[in-house]
């Protein structure tokens, strides 16, 4: 009986030893994998920062349906600090879908977006970013002045008197002082874009994302708008990322470009103005 008890105790101790061995073995493996994953993420962030990348898009996939083909397929590209970067693609190519990801309106994707080295899904990722849509909609209860004043962060609003003077000066500079106390929703397309430019100038963001912003503007206002963006890029090192499917006027402003077709990135990098049309025609089979 005593022998059986000792034998049973031996096997219990043996099993406990084996279980402990395998627990420690696999725990070390898991910790190693976690450490490697963290190191890889740090390497990506460090590399992004060293290369002065404002936005890094890595292996984006997205589909509107679970069983359907992906709308965005393995998209990878960089947007460098201070570039006037044009995002080119035909209607339905995926430009607006990717922009919605960049500005935080769509987080349902796989892959990663880093904004100044910060993951786009973190709360503070877009503190230095402003988005300009093609058809801006303003709060219905605001005047133009109210909108510009309240769009500023708390630090800027602390000096109310100075901010008021600055807003009025910009409204005068852009020849829209008469709309100061009007609802901006009832302004012309050109006046609305001027309001957004003033918002940018007051807030001084590091990154500006624009989705077809000149599509509803007349030719004179388009040129004024693009010239101001170019000035911000060149003199203030503001990163401009602007989507378009029209090259005629915008190509002369570009320092970098990304071409997309059917949800896939076809070309990305620094570019010379004279090369844009050739690359465009080659990608989209235009002869």
Distance in angstroms (rounded) separating the CA atoms of residues 243 and 236? 21
**pLDDT (tens digit, 9 = 90+) per residue, 160-211?**
999 999 999 999 999 999 999 999 999 998 899 899 999 999 999 999 999 9
Residue 3 has pLDDT above 80, yes or no: no
Residue 93 per-residue DSSP state: S
Instruction: Spell out the residues 6+ positions from residue 74 whose beta carbon is closer than 8 angstroms to its own.
Output: 59, 60, 61, 264
For the chain, domain boundaries? 1-48
pLDDT confidence band for 273 (50 / 70 / 90): confident
Count CB-CB contacts under 10 A for residue 249. 13
Average pLDDT over residues 252-266: 95
Mean pLDDT along residues 138-148: 96
The neighbour count for residue 103, using CB atoms within 10 Å, is 17
CA distances from 48 to 78, 102, 116, 124, 192 (A): 9, 16, 8, 18, 35
Q: Which two tokens stand for residue 262?
A: 């059917």
- Going by the DSSP 8-state scheme, the letter that residue 157 receives in this structure is H
Strands annotated E in 194-255? 207-211, 239-244
What percent of the chain is modeled with pLDDT above 90? 61
Residue 30: phi and psi, rounded to 5, are: -65, -45
Most confident range, picked from 24-28, 48-52, 246-250, 280-284: 280-284
pLDDT digits over 15-60, tens only? 666 555 655 665 555 565 555 544 545 454 444 455 799 999 999 9
Highest mean pLDDT among 17-21, 119-123, 132-136, 163-167: 163-167
pTM for the whole thing?
0.79
Query: How far is CA 222 from each of CA 36, 106, 218, 226, 241, rounded to the nearest angstrom?
Result: 49, 29, 6, 6, 16
d(CA 125, CA 132): 17
Region label for 136, one of left (φ > 0), alpha (ψ between -120 and 50) or beta (otherwise): beta
> Residue 246: left if φ>0, alpha if ψ -120 to 50, beta else—which one?
beta
**Whole-number Å distance between alpha carbons of 241 and 98:** 12
* DSSP letter for each residue of 40-74: HHHHHHHHHHHTTEEEEEEEEEE-SSSSSPPSEEE
- pLDDT score recorded for residue 4: 52
Confidence at 77, pLDDT banded by 50, 70, 90:
very high
Residue 243, exposed/middle/buried by CB under 10 A (0-12, 13-18, 19+)? Answer: buried
Q: Strand order in 84-88's β-sheet?
A: 129-132, 207-211, 239-244, 84-88, 256-261, 264-270
């Amino acid at each position: 009986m005593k022998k059986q008890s000792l034998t049973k105790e031996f096997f219990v101790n043996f099993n406990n030893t084996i279980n402990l061995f395998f627990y420690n073995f696999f725990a070390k493996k898991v910790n190693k994998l976690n450490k490697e994953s963290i190191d890889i993420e740090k390497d990506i962030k460090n590399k992004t920062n060293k290369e002065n990348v404002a936005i890094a898009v890595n292996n984006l996939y997205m589909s509107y349906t679970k069983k359907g083909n992906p709308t965005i397929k393995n998209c990878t590209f960089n947007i460098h600090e201070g570039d006037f970067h044009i995002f080119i693609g035909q209607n339905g190519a995926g430009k607006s879908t990717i922009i919605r990801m960049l500005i935080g309106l769509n987080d349902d994707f796989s892959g990663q977006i880093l904004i100044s080295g910060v993951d786009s899904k973190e709360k503070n990722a877009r503190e230095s970013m402003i988005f300009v849509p093609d058809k801006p909609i303003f709060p219905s209860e605001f005047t133009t002045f109210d909108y510009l004043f309240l769009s500023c962060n708390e630090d800027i609003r602390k000096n109310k008197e100075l901010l008021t003077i600055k807003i009025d000066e910009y409204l005068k500079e852009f020849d829209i002082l008469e709309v100061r106390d009007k609802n901006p929703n009832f302004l012309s397309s050109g006046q609305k874009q001027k309001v957004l430019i003033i918002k940018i100038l007051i807030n001084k963001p590091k990154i500006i994302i624009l989705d077809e912003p000149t599509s509803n503007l007349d030719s004179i206002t388009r040129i004024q708008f693009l010239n101001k963006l170019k000035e911000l890029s060149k003199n203030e090192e503001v990163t401009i990322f602007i989507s378009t499917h029209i090259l005629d006027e915008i190509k002369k402003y570009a320092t970098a470009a990304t071409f997309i077709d059917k949800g896939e990135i076809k070309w990305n990098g620094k570019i010379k103005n004279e090369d844009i049309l050739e690359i465009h025609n080659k990608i989209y089979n235009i002869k």
